[in-house]
């Protein structure tokens, strides 16, 4: 496997440490997953979309017909659920009871349920543990809503992406998705536990007029400058 060419500082650092965590947070369609995936590929890090774990739980709750309005139902259900991670092309995929639901994670019904479910303390505690365990001993790029603020607040490498509402809606529509992103943003930003926020110490990037590779380059430059 070839080594990253342009990022000698990080290369030097990765030879010394094998638990470098780069976090990318931000609202829906701000570019987190596209940028995170590209950045992870360039650095030969593992890419984790934490949202896929929240989506996998929402998918499973729908499959199992769980009444998620009651926290006790969620607790009982989570006790029976077997969540694992399978690495696929450098990317972490959630498996629920040995099924990979990846192809169904962006269905409308999952889009609708995921943010209300992600406000549950049982779900957040469950995935907090899962995501921290997943990162043990790995160099990773993890993106989500609370990764720099709650999951890995101690990491030095934090980024927060945002873009105008119009641009984010345009991107999601172009992807052919039926997704009320402003409603999800509202729920994610106003929930009591781990709300979406700019993590302390994060570099903020407005991606409204930037392409995926431009944002990735900006992050590279920032990582280099922070050595």
Q: Which residues bind ligand CDP (CB under 6 A)?
A: 28-29, 33, 49-51, 54-55, 114-115, 118, 144-147, 184, 188
User: Which residue, judged by CB position, is nearest to ligand CDP in the bound state?
Assistant: 51
- Six-digit token string for 5: 């060419």
Q: Give the separation between CA 196 and CA 23, rounded to whole angstroms.
A: 13
User: Minimum Å distance from CB 48 to ligand CDP?
Assistant: 10
User: Minimum Å distance from CB 118 to ligand CDP?
Assistant: 3
User: Minimum Å distance from CB 78 to ligand CDP?
Assistant: 15
Q: Are strands 203-206 and 157-162 parallel, antiparallel or unpaired?
A: parallel
User: Minimum Å distance from CB 143 to ligand CDP?
Assistant: 7
User: Minimum Å distance from CB 169 to ligand CDP?
Assistant: 12
Q: Give the separation between CA 149 and CA 130, rounded to whole angstroms.
A: 16
Helix orientation angle between 121-135 and 108-118, rounded to the nearest 10 degrees: 100
Using an 8 Å Cβ cutoff, are 29 and 168 in contact?
yes
Q: Which is nearer to ligand CDP, 107 or 146 (CB)?
A: 146
Q: Which is nearer to ligand CDP, 54 or 159 (CB)?
A: 54
Which sign does the torsion angle of CA 47, 51, 53, 55 carry? negative
Q: Which is nearer to ligand CDP, 91 or 188 (CB)?
A: 188
Q: Which is nearer to ligand CDP, 51 or 94 (CB)?
A: 51
- Six-digit token string for 33: 């997953």
The distance from CA 61 to its chain's CA centroid, rounded to whole angstroms, is 20
Q: How many CA atoms does the CB half-sphere of 18 hold within 13 Å?
A: 3
Q: Which is nearer to ligand CDP, 37 or 184 (CB)?
A: 184
Q: Which is nearer to ligand CDP, 114 or 205 (CB)?
A: 114
Which sign does the torsion angle of CA 22, 106, 124, 80 carry? negative
């Amino acid at each position: 496997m070839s080594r990253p060419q342009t990022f000698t500082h990080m290369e030097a650092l990765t030879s010394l440490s094998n638990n470098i965590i780069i976090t990318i947070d931000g609202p829906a369609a701000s570019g987190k997953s596209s940028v995170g995936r590209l950045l992870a590929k360039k650095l030969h890090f593992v890419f984790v979309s934490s949202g896929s774990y929240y989506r996998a739980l929402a998918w499973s709750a729908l499959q199992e017909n769980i009444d998620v309005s009651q926290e006790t139902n969620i607790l009982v259900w989570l006790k029976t659920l077997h969540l694992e991670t399978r690495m696929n092309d450098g990317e972490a995929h959630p498996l629920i009871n040995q099924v990979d639901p990846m192809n169904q994670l962006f269905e409308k019904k999952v889009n609708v349920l995921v943010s209300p479910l992600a406000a549950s303390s049982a779900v957040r505690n469950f995935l907090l543990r899962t995501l921290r365990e997943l990162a043990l001993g790995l160099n990773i790029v993890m993106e989500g809503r609370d990764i720099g603020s709650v999951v890995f607040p101690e990491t030095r490498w934090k980024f927060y992406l945002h873009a105008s509402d119009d641009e984010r809606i345009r991107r999601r529509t172009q992807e052919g998705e039926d997704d009320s992103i402003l409603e999800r943003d509202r729920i994610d930003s106003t929930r009591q536990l781990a709300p979406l926020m700019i993590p302390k110490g994060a570099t903020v990037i407005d991606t409204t007029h930037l392409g995926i590779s431009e944002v990735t380059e900006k992050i590279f430059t920032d990582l280099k400058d922070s050595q």
